[in-house]
Amino acid sequence: MNKGLCIWLMGLSASGKTTLARLLAQELDRRGIQVEVLDGDQVRSNLSQDLGFTRSDRETNLRRIGLVTRLLVRHGAVVVVAAICPYKNIRQELRGEIGELVEVYLDCPLEVCIRRDPKGLYRRALAGEIGHFTGLDDPFEVPSRPEILIRTDQENPQDSLHRILAVLEARRILPAPSDLPLP
Amino acid sequence: MNKGLCIWLMGLSASGKTTLARLLAQELDRRGIQVEVLDGDQVRSNLSQDLGFTRSDRETNLRRIGLVTRLLVRHGAVVVVAAICPYKNIRQELRGEIGELVEVYLDCPLEVCIRRDPKGLYRRALAGEIGHFTGLDDPFEVPSRPEILIRTDQENPQDSLHRILAVLEARRILPAPSDLPLP
């Protein structure tokens, strides 16, 4: 069986999580790695329809993602999670729960996220139509020691992808270049 | 990678689902099969704290179990679910969703379940303290074509276990006796 692992892409809305998750999943799939993407928005629509965006509801949602991830990792899957994950206490909990976890913090200035706003959510939040919005009226507690820190306003997604792949090689999830047979 | 499969033990409260799930998981584990038990009561306490026992809430709970099961099965796990699963429409949905599914119906007369009542739930339901109780004021629609039908009031759990193992051998999840090397 493969060795399971979770790669958690965390950061503000519009920081680039879903884009990078797709790129990463495609590349792992191409290399024959069993991968599962858990996207925050999708999870909300099936496991957490009942939950809103208060701190307590967000925590419950993240714990549910954590539970599913733990089960999958235990059975050898590589799980790519794309979810904001704004609170320190929950990140600590998840690390304890999941075990094999690579935290990837997609750092992107709030003003850049507001300019990108692909789903129009910031516009609605700034107009007062959505409350508890991370980065505006709900906090994002910056990860203090992520395994990978990506400035998505400065680095292109292909470069970010290769930095994540390098960590997976170091952890022997992917064969390191030196493991490959000589030509 | 292993081939994934779900074995869903369904039936009234106190029909013997948890007992048989434990026996089965122990035996699969002993044989080196990656197994995950999803027990209805446990799932309620982590994925579905928000849900009650109306038909709609039960359906949502079963769909969540189905989603987690599908993900695990896709990654090669053998998943043993122990949950009442009282509605035909949801069983059909689950079959479509999970794909590799073995329905095991634990048939046990209601009066026997009421007599067993290990958690005192029937007593409380009959006293009017719990509503929407399956078999009393909420229906259990009998599975029409389960892969395995077990009369748990007539058969001992060890015999039931061996009947399930035989199906897993036929499906090549476990090596069939004829696959084993000759001594």
By the 8 A CB rule, do A122 and A14 touch?
A: yes
| Residue-level pLDDT at A46 | 87
| Span A4-21, average pLDDT | 96
ipTM, two decimals, is 0.85
Q: Is residue B4 predicted with pLDDT exceeding 70?
A: yes
Token duo for residue A48: 């957490």
Taking the C-alpha atoms of residue B98 and residue B6, their distance in angstroms, rounded to an integer, is 8
Cβ A75–B75 below 8 Å, yes or no? yes
- Residue at token pair 């026992």: B53
Q: Contact, B103 vs B143, CB < 8 A? A: yes
Rounded distance between C-alpha atoms, residue A166 and residue A153, angstroms: 21
From chain B residues 37-66, the ones with a CB under 8 A of any chain A CB are 46-47, 49-51, 60, 63-64
pLDDT tens-digit series, residues B140-168:
999 999 999 999 999 999 999 999 999 99
Asked if B127 and B33 touch (Cβ cutoff 8 Å), the reply is no
Q: Which residues contact A138 (CB under 8 A, 6 or more apart)?
A: A53, A55, A58, A86, A132
Say how many residues make up chain B: 183
> Given this model, what pLDDT does residue A158 score?
95
Does residue A181 lie within any of the structural domains? no
Give me the CATH number covering residue A43.
3.40.50.300
In a domain, A182, yes or no: no
Whose structure tokens read 């089965």? B24
Banded pLDDT at B173 (limits 50, 70, 90) = confident
Record: contact A34-B76, CB cut-off 8 A: yes
B2 pLDDT tier (thresholds 50, 70, 90): low
Lowest mean pLDDT among A86-90, A176-180, B36-40, B112-116: A176-180
Q: How many domains does chain A have?
A: 1
Whether the CB of A71 is below 8 Å from some CB of chain B: the reply is yes
Q: What is the pLDDT of residue A180?
A: 61
Query: What is the per-residue pLDDT for A177?
Result: 65
> Does residue B183 lie within any of the structural domains?
no
Tell me how far apart the alpha carbons of residues B74 and A167 are, in angstroms, rounded to a whole number.
Answer: 25
Which residue in the set A36, A49, A60 is minimally distant from B75, CB to CB? A36
- 3-state DSSP: chain A helix, strand, coil percent, rounded to 5? 45, 15, 40
SS3 B152: coil
User: Residue A180: inside a domain, yes or no?
Assistant: no
Question: Which CA distances in Å does A136 have to A12, A55, A124, B52?
Answer: 10, 14, 12, 34
> What pTM value is reported for the model?
0.89
Per-residue three-class SS string for B78-101: EEEEECCCCCHHHHHHHHHHHCCE
Q: Flag whether pLDDT at A157 surpasses 90.
A: yes
Which pLDDT belongs to residue B180?
61
Whether A32 is in a domain gets the answer yes
Interacting residues of A5 by C-beta distance below 8 A, sequence separation 6+: A73, A78, A79, A100, A101, A102, A168, A171, A173
- CA of A174 to nearest chain B CA: how many angstroms apart? 16
Q: What's the domain range around B60?
A: 5-178
Alpha carbons within 13 angstroms on the beta-carbon side of residue B149 total 7
